[in-house]
Amino acid sequence: MTETYARVVDGVVVEVIPPHPDGFSLSDRFPPGFVETLRAAPAGVTQGWAWDGQAFAPPADPTPPAPVVPASITRRQLLLALAGAGLITGEEALAAAMTGAVPASIDAVFAQLPPAEALGARITWATMSVAEREHPLIGALIAAEMATATEVDALFVAGAAM
């Protein structure tokens, strides 16, 4: 009876070798050093399975890829994400959506800017339809430690999902 073999390197199956159709043995087909890397494998073992020296196991679920941070989200998405993260209240989000009002925590950041920049920031906030991740206003929120860059990335990811 011929078997299927798995070539194992560093505890991981890197290749599955089926039986030869003419019944040739492993030693007839491969050099001794190669044959030493082979283990008899039950049906279903595929590349990527683990070998612990005793048994095969399927690979662990791969880590999901990190979400892509969008370059921009809509004003609506930003307001919902900020409220969802507790950085502004629901009432502040609604007022910002309806009138362009600047939430208190964000206005406190703008107040730290030089007067001309603060005015520009408030006007930009009130009139923007899209929030760009790399916009200086977002950088100002990070610089004022309202949120870290990682937290802002998460806000943009969350906002894009809304």
Q: Is residue 43 part of a domain?
A: yes
What is the per-residue pLDDT for 2? 61
Q: Is the dihedral of CA 83, 86, 91, 92 positive or negative?
A: negative
pLDDT digits (tens, 9 = 90+) for 115-131: 999 999 999 999 999 99
Q: Does 77 lie in the same domain as 130?
A: yes
Q: Does 104 lie in the same domain as 52?
A: no
Averaged pLDDT, 69-76: 95
Q: Is residue 143 part of a domain?
A: yes
Cα gap 125→92, rounded to integer Å? 13
What is the per-residue pLDDT for 49? 93
The H-or-E segment that residue 13 falls in is strand 12-17
Show the tokens assigned to 68.
Answer: 């892509």
Residues sharing a CB contact under 8 Å with residue 39, sequence separation 6 or more, in sequence order:
5, 6, 8, 51, 56
Q: Does 25 lie in the same domain as 92?
A: no
Residue 51 lies in domain: 5-57
The beta strands (E) that lie in 26-85 are given as: 38-40, 50-51, 56-57, 72-74
On whether the pTM is more than 0.75, the answer is no
Q: Which residue has the higher pLDDT, 67 or 64?
A: 67
